[in-house]
Amino acid sequence: MPTAKPPEGLSLDRIPTPAGEALVIWDAAGLLRVFDWSGYEPRMQQLLTRHYGPVTPKTGRAPAALRKALAAYFDGDLTSIDTIACATGGTRFQRTVWAALRDIPAGQTESYGQLAARIGAPKAVRAVGLANGANPIGLVVPCHRVIGANGSLTGYGGGIERKRWLLNHEGAAFKLAA
């Protein structure tokens, strides 16, 4: 069952980046609704359906401010994505987790346990992990900055190699898997 009414006027653009082709969906108000990666369209569509019911975005060119902020991020201005206005469906708990993700500065990481404690739900580590995995706005809602309790990389909806690339781009510390 969808968690929110479908937003008006969803549009999709494909934007080349050094980390691969990004898929962005925004609404008629210019709010970013989805950021995902080419090759993960089925996951993206599943998240869209889960949040809004069956929707089919039209193809278009992303708003200039969104394109500019993403280009600046990949050019090294790591805080530029902090200015991108977003909106999501999701449950209240998921939206709480996603808001907390936006508070993790570029170049830093948190474990699922640290994130759970920070939102006042220290025993909800698994629920935080599930919410992290259901994040429809990867990169901008930086779920890639969440790592294992031992500092190791954990799963990422865009693939572990891309997560490694993003964290390296941001200068974050993490451990490589043995």
Please list the active-site residues. 143
**Predicted local confidence at residue 2, as pLDDT:** 64
Residue 178's pLDDT band, with cuts at 50, 70 and 90, is: very low
What mean pLDDT do residues 62-82 have?
Answer: 97
Least confident range of 45-49, 58-62, 122-126: 45-49
Contact 12, 24 (CB under 8 A): yes
Residue 1's pLDDT band, with cuts at 50, 70 and 90, is: low
**Predicted local confidence at residue 4, as pLDDT:** 67
Percent of the chain residues topping a pLDDT of 90: 76
Radius of gyration of the chain measured on its C-alpha atoms? 15
Q: Are β-strands 110-111 and 58-59 bridged in parallel, bridged antiparallel, or unpaired?
A: unpaired
What mean pLDDT do residues 75-81 have?
Answer: 97
CB atoms within 10 A of CB 67: 14
CB atoms within 10 A of CB 95: 17
Report the helix count and the strand count for the chain, using DSSP H and E: 6, 6
